[in-house]
A and B are shown apart, each in its own frame.
Chain A
Amino acid sequence: MSGAPLIELRSVYRIYGRGEAEIRALAAVDLAIHPGEFVAVMGASGSGKSTCMNIVGCLDTPTSGAYLFQGVDTGGLSRDQRALLRRHYLGFVFQGFNLLDRTTALENVELPLIYRGMQRSERHARARRALDKVGLAGRERHTPAELSGGQQQRVAIARAIVSEPAILLADEPTGNLDTQRSHEFMRLLVELNREEGLTVVMVTHEADMADYAQRIIRFRDGRVESDSTVESAA
């Protein structure tokens, strides 16, 4: 890969607890991800994948080491500044969908735009476009309870991409979907990655899903075990 990395971890440690009970969730992790990449993160349960995603997502901070976003060290950022960084540059998709209950798909999708202070009409237009992109045109008024799991996860993607983030972070996004929906979901991610140049980092423990990615990073006991670029994606 050439050019400046979008995100870069330098010797990152994340340690929970103290003394005897100390857990090294991440140890000496060095990692660089460039714009436009589609990265799958794999590893056994408890190997530190989610911890790593939380740090990349600015929801958590390293115990030591540096995390650079677009070349800027995030070490000095306050809680509020990290919120602003998430607001403007990051999109999240979670395993449990994490949509707001009793709130329509459209309102869920426009949520990040509200925090950007965007006008209602423009918010709606953008949210509709995002829903259209994930194949949910016509479902704007449906609440999560009225949508299938696959559709809910698509709403979650629409919400993540509506603000045109620099990077999409997905922690086991297919964990709650059946195989068919999982593949549909992965094809959608690949499409967004190819056509919009969206950078995607996705945690999965299913090899099938990881095969969609261009690059696979494996964690083991908080360390990067292997980092390989796949020759041809599915």
Chain B
Amino acid sequence: MYWNTLLLALREMRRNLLRSTLTMLGIIIGVAAVITLVTLGRGATVHVASEIAGLGSNLLHLRPGSRNRGPGGISGPIEPFSLADVKAVEREIGGVKAIAPIASKTLLTVYGNSNWSTRVNGTSNGYFAARNWAVSHGRPFTESELQSGRSVCILGATVRSELFDREDPLGASLRLGRVSCQVVGVLESKGQSPFGSDQDDQILMPLKAYQRRIAGNRDVNLIYVSAKRSELTVKVKRDIEQLMRQRRRIASDQDDSFNVRDMKEVAARVSSTTRTMTSLLGAVATVSLLVGGIGIMNIMLVSVTERTREIGIRLALGARERNVLLQFLVEAVVLSSVGGVSGIVLGVLSAWAGAGMLGVPLVLSAEIILIAFGFSALVGVVFGYFPARQAARLDPIQALRHE
């Protein structure tokens, strides 16, 4: 009996193939949109999370300047850090894996006929451990280079390809502004940061050399601190804050004149933003599913009117109300769920294409696919019920007379 009803519904759909397809289009588009948007949203979240992890493990950013800078920008001058601050953190704070001071400036770099504007970072060898980054060609700085302030540098992958093309840069001498420096290494490529900038577009040199030859001062603008273990970041952050308040003699009623940012927090914030976007887009897609449902209701009402005589015949031959109700309900559900399955296929395909285009991983979730399918079937039940009841309640005599 149920099997027959299902067969009947499929046959009815085949008979009006064009009409059925057009009717299903709303559901197809709705489901495909839900699947695509949610899948891409999740892919983006995963992508951003892994990128942020790639910035460095358990990384803290210590910057001068209050965290609560007003909209008017800087309130008062920002007091930069010094090498003494770096040493103090190294000495006083437990649970630290690596520490790297940064002072930087954007400069025009020249090699032969090529030039390229890039960020020059003065730092220490701690940079590689803190940022989870390796020198892929050449070597890190030597202890004597760091101490003496010799003018050597390590190139980011982008700078290397911009200035040297296929030439081996090791040992070459290039100009950073007015200073010349010798290339000792090239960093492995890291690609875009989660915030969209090219991380490979930079040059590293020993902090001392940078301060003496380029900056002309002893300032440190940023300190990377990476904790030994993930659980330690909160404690390390708190300890650093305490230490810096002491060192800067900040009174207990005053705000910090520096800020420590946990990249994990940033990651969490970014993925929660993507999640919000995802659910927003999902809601938009849901609306199109509802519109699809109304389309189904419309076509089912037309179908009931067209098939009034058939209904009359069935009632005369002994169909009960529930038999007729079920027949039309199943037709609506078949329409909407065939639409749902087509939409899932289409959605997965377009999510796959979109993920490839955006460079995010394809995170298919069975859960979302099941929900989309369940929702489309539900749309069939909800919007098919009224027309089906209309059919079931027909008066057999009137229905048989219907032309």
Contact present for B313 and A83 (CB under 8 Å): no
Measured in the bound complex, the distance between the Cα atoms of B37 and A80 in whole Å is: 48
Chain A residues with CB below 8 A from B316, complex form? 57, 59, 86, 92, 98
Given contacts A54-B397, A79-B321, A98-B400, contact A117 B315 (CB under 8 A): no
- Which label, helix, strand, loop or mixed, suits the secondary structure of the B interface? helix
Chain A residues with CB below 8 A from B321, complex form? 79-80, 83
Asked whether any CB of chain A lies closer than 8 Å to the CB of B1, the reply is yes
Chain A residues with CB below 8 A from B323, complex form? 115
- A165-195: contact bitstring with B at CB < 8 Å (1 yes, 0 no)? 0000000000000000000000000000000
Measured in the bound complex, the distance between the Cα atoms of B316 and A83 in whole Å is: 7
Asked whether any CB of chain A lies closer than 8 Å to the CB of B396, the reply is yes
When C-beta atoms are compared, the residue in chain A nearest to B315 turns out to be: A83
Smallest CB–CB gap between A120 and chain B, Å?
8
Contact present for B315 and A98 (CB under 8 Å): no
Measured in the bound complex, the distance between the Cα atoms of B322 and A163 in whole Å is: 21
Contact present for A94 and B400 (CB under 8 Å): yes
When C-beta atoms are compared, the residue in chain A nearest to B401 turns out to be: A96
Smallest CB–CB gap between B262 and chain A, Å?
68
Measured in the bound complex, the distance between the Cα atoms of B397 and A57 in whole Å is: 10
Smallest CB–CB gap between B313 and chain A, Å?
5
Measured in the bound complex, the distance between the Cα atoms of B396 and A92 in whole Å is: 12
Contact present for B313 and A98 (CB under 8 Å): yes
Chain A residues with CB below 8 A from B397, complex form? 54, 59-60
Given contacts A59-B396, A114-B4, A115-B323, contact A102 B317 (CB under 8 A): no
Most chain B Cβ neighbours within 10 Å, of A88, A90, A114: A114
Smallest CB–CB gap between B242 and chain A, Å?
80
Measured in the bound complex, the distance between the Cα atoms of B310 and A31 in whole Å is: 31
- A62-90: contact bitstring with B at CB < 8 Å (1 yes, 0 no)? 00000000000000000110011011101
Chain A residues with CB below 8 A from B318, complex form? 83-84, 86-88, 90, 112, 115-116, 163
Asked whether any CB of chain B lies closer than 8 Å to the CB of A218, the reply is no
Chain A residues with CB below 8 A from B317, complex form? 86-87, 92, 111-112, 115, 159
Asked whether any CB of chain A lies closer than 8 Å to the CB of B261, the reply is no
- A97-113: contact bitstring with B at CB < 8 Å (1 yes, 0 no)? 01111100000000110
Measured in the bound complex, the distance between the Cα atoms of B318 and A79 in whole Å is: 11
Most chain A Cβ neighbours within 10 Å, of B315, B318, B323, B397: B318
Chain B residues with CB below 8 A from A79, complex form? 321
Chain A residues with CB below 8 A from B4, complex form? 114
Contact present for B319 and A83 (CB under 8 Å): yes
Smallest CB–CB gap between B389 and chain A, Å?
14
Please classify how large the interface on chain B is, using the bins under 10, 10 to 19, 20 to 34, 35 or more: 20 to 34
Chain B residues with CB below 8 A from A88, complex form? 318
Chain B residues with CB below 8 A from A90, complex form? 318
Chain B residues with CB below 8 A from A111, complex form? 313-314, 317
When C-beta atoms are compared, the residue in chain B nearest to A102 turns out to be: B15
Measured in the bound complex, the distance between the Cα atoms of B15 and A50 in whole Å is: 34
Contact present for B310 and A80 (CB under 8 Å): no
Measured in the bound complex, the distance between the Cα atoms of B15 and A79 in whole Å is: 31
Asked whether any CB of chain A lies closer than 8 Å to the CB of B309, the reply is yes
- B297-328: contact bitstring with A at CB < 8 Å (1 yes, 0 no)? 00000000000011011111111111100000
Measured in the bound complex, the distance between the Cα atoms of B362 and A203 in whole Å is: 71
Contact present for B1 and A114 (CB under 8 Å): yes
Chain B residues with CB below 8 A from A86, complex form? 316-318
Chain B residues with CB below 8 A from A59, complex form? 315-316, 396-397
Smallest CB–CB gap between B118 and chain A, Å?
74
Smallest CB–CB gap between A126 and chain B, Å?
14
Smallest CB–CB gap between B163 and chain A, Å?
76
Contact present for B320 and A83 (CB under 8 Å): yes
Smallest CB–CB gap between B71 and chain A, Å?
72
Contact present for A100 and B319 (CB under 8 Å): no
- A29-58: contact bitstring with B at CB < 8 Å (1 yes, 0 no)? 000000000000000000000000010010
Chain A residues with CB below 8 A from B309, complex form? 98
Measured in the bound complex, the distance between the Cα atoms of B396 and A207 in whole Å is: 29
Measured in the bound complex, the distance between the Cα atoms of B319 and A114 in whole Å is: 9
Measured in the bound complex, the distance between the Cα atoms of B401 and A60 in whole Å is: 14
Smallest CB–CB gap between B205 and chain A, Å?
83
Smallest CB–CB gap between A206 and chain B, Å?
22
Smallest CB–CB gap between B397 and chain A, Å?
5
Chain B residues with CB below 8 A from A84, complex form? 318, 320
When C-beta atoms are compared, the residue in chain A nearest to B309 turns out to be: A98
Smallest CB–CB gap between A80 and chain B, Å?
5
When C-beta atoms are compared, the residue in chain B nearest to A101 turns out to be: B310
8 tightest Cβ-Cβ pairs between the two chains A and B: A87-B318, A86-B318, A83-B320, A112-B317, A115-B318, A59-B396, A98-B313, A80-B320
Given contacts A57-B316, A80-B322, A114-B1, could you give 15 more A-B pairs where the C-beta distance is less than 8 Å? A59-B315, A59-B396, A60-B397, A80-B321, A83-B321, A87-B317, A87-B318, A87-B319, A90-B318, A94-B400, A98-B309, A98-B312, A98-B313, A98-B316, A100-B313
B residues within 8 Å of A by Cβ? Answer: 1, 4, 15, 309-310, 312-323, 396-397, 400
Could you show 6 A-B contacts with beta carbons less than 8 Å apart?
A59-B316, A83-B315, A83-B320, A86-B318, A112-B317, A115-B317
